[in-house]
Structure 1
Amino acid sequence: MENERIEEFKNEIDRLKIKSGSSDREKIYQFLGGALMIAGIVLSLIAYFVAGAQDSGDLAIDDLEHNEHIILAIAGIAVTIAGAAIFLRYSLTRFFRFWLLRQIFENRKNK
């Protein structure tokens, strides 16, 4: 009975010619978003720890290099946020597309 419903659902989607979320482009963007999140976190942590470990004895040079690394850490945080936005956009798009198709199918079935 359950397999029958699944097959009927797949046939209905094929008949409607609606994109069902199997696009490779969305998967690539979702992977890219996840990779950007990880890269941003790694960049931020490395820049933060390098900034805290500097001590050459010359306070003016230390402050300048420290500020450069803090800016790099903030850029890493920005990359992380952008990656999270890309990841969420494409993962939620795929989920909501499937959910909407399922709702349409169930509502047609009940009428």
Structure 2
Amino acid sequence: MTTTEPRADRFVRELAELKIPDPAAGRAALWLRLGGTLMVLALVLCVSAYLLAHSTTDPLEQRDAITLGLCGVGAGVVGGALFLRYSLTGFLRFWLARQSYDLDALAERLIDAQKGRG
């Protein structure tokens, strides 16, 4: 363990050595935004379907509104799954790298303690 290198710099260097992709780069941000957009679109579809179904007595228009509402529910489920998957991926990737770094530091301290006693 080098004492001249700050801990944060060493952590960044080791992340680069592990070749862990940056979670902010690439398509992950696009999928995250798409998931959020789908959730907002789902709310708009469901509210418009509710208003459309309750503003008429024609059963054909009400059935169209039910179909529109079901599409909104489907978009909400897909958008929520995309958003959850890509937001958790970024967090868990960092957490795993941090755990790896902390375990490495613990192992080095234990080895140094064993050398000091032996």
Q: TM-score range by the shorter chain?
A: 0.7 to 0.9
Query: What residue ranges of structure 2 are gaps of 5+ in the alignment?
Result: 108-118
Q: Match for 1:16: what amino acid?
A: L
Match of 1:46 in 2: 48
For the residues of structure 2 that align with 1:10 and 1:68, how far apart are their CA atoms? 54
Q: Alpha-carbon deviations, 1:39-94, whole Å to 9, x = none?
A: 01101101111110114xxxxxx011111111111110110111000110111011
Question: Quick one: which of 90, 98, 107 aligns to 1:94?
Answer: 90
For the residues of structure 2 that align with 1:90 and 1:24, how far apart are their CA atoms? 12
For the residues of structure 1 that align with 2:12 and 2:65, how far apart are their CA atoms? 53
Matched length: 103
Question: Quick one: which of 61, 68, 71 aligns to 1:65?
Answer: 61
Give the SS at the match of 1:23: coil
TM superposition outliers: structure 1 runs of 4+ over 6 Å? none
For the residues of structure 1 that align with 2:71 and 2:37, how far apart are their CA atoms? 15
Alpha-carbon RMSD across the aligned residues, in angstroms, is 1.5
How does the TM-score come out when normalised to structure 2? 0.81
5 Å matches for 1:1-111? 4-55=6-57, 62-111=58-107
How does the TM-score come out when normalised to structure 1? 0.86
For the residues of structure 1 that align with 2:72 and 2:24, how far apart are their CA atoms? 31
Give the SS at the match of 2:23: coil
For the residues of structure 1 that align with 2:53 and 2:37, how far apart are their CA atoms? 24
